[in-house]
Amino acid sequence: MDEQAQVKSAQGGDQEAFHWLFDRNKQNIFAIAYKYTNNREDAEDVLQETFIKAFYHLKKFHHSEDTNFSSWLCRICINSSIDFLRKKKKMKINKFATDNIETTPLQTKASNPEKSTHLQQVKEKVDSALNKLTAKQRMIFILRHYQQMTTKEIAEYMDCSQGSIKKQLFRSISTLKEHLKTFLQETDYEMQKI
């Protein structure tokens, strides 16, 4: 059974169909939430919030050529992530997580401890630099570079123009380059010594 059929069943009250939709989408939603919150527990909270909202608003969802359930769910996740970070900011919590998850592209199972340590340092620096971006820039960067979405898809998810997405991507990359400049120079120097 395809996703659209499962959505219709779930809209009719079929709980198994909703569980099917959850199982099919939870990993992608968790990955987006994690990249946004930078913390496993926070990402789990956002994942839960996303599916609770989806469950209560499921009857309002209408499949179309431009919108499928997965993209609708992704938009809910983005909004839930932004809401979560706003609440966290209001509480003045500024916590940087360094735990690894399987969906982190920089994770390695290399047998070389120096390489593993270096990649962990790179990951921490990138995570820290990502936290220097605005919430909107961070989400756009994550969707583009971690989720491999096109600017058109991101514009649809975030309900804005492609031009706006490109401008935010340019700004986010400029900011990241600036924050990573010293680290990259140090890394380059270390590589030259070898």
Question: pLDDT of 13-28, one tens digit each?
Answer: 888 988 999 999 999 9
188: enclosing H helix or E strand: helix 162-193
Give the tens place of pLDDT for each residue, 99-144: 433 444 444 444 566 667 767 777 777 777 787 888 788 888 887 8
Domains of the chain: 1-103 (1.10.1740.10), 106-194 (1.10.10.10)
| Whether the Cβ atoms of residue 128 and residue 180 lie closer than 8 Å to each other | no
Cα distance between residue 63 and residue 47, in whole Å: 22
pTM: 0.54
Cα distance between residue 27 and residue 31, in whole Å: 6
DSSP 58: G
Cα distance between residue 54 and residue 9, in whole Å: 14
Structure tokens that stand for 81 in this block: 């992530």
Give the per-residue pLDDT at 94.
37
3 state DSSP class of 102: coil
Give the tens place of pLDDT for each residue, 81-105: 888 877 776 654 334 333 433 444 4
